[in-house]
Amino acid sequence: GIPRKISIGKQAITFKQTAPKNFCFRGEITPLVVAALKEIGKDKVNLEELQKIKNVLSLESKEIVIADAYIAPRWITGIFLSLINS
């Protein structure tokens, strides 16, 4: 469907259309990181952001991050695997 927008005070939230596989993640943190990386873009992620992502991913178990990495787009899978193995 079309994106829906709701306003809460001075903030606006836009609910975008998504595929069912985006709801298959096992972790609580990894889907948020995947969404953030998609929003930033494949070629626009910098080293500072990667360090922050590494710190956030360390809060999730390694097994869950690996499982969720293979649900994410291929370029994000590469980022996840390189961050948890470094």
- The pLDDT tens digits for 1-57 are 677 899 999 999 988 888 878 788 999 999 999 999 999 999 999 999 999 999 999
Return the domain boundaries, the chain: 21-84
Q: What does pTM read for this prediction?
A: 0.78
Q: What is the pLDDT of residue 1?
A: 67
Q: Which of 19, 28, 25 is nearest to 77 (CA)?
A: 25
Q: What is the pLDDT of residue 24?
A: 87
Q: What is the DSSP annotation of 23-82?
A: G--SSSSHHHHHHHHHHH-TT---HHHHHHHHHHHTTS-HHHHHHHHTTS-HHHHHHHHH
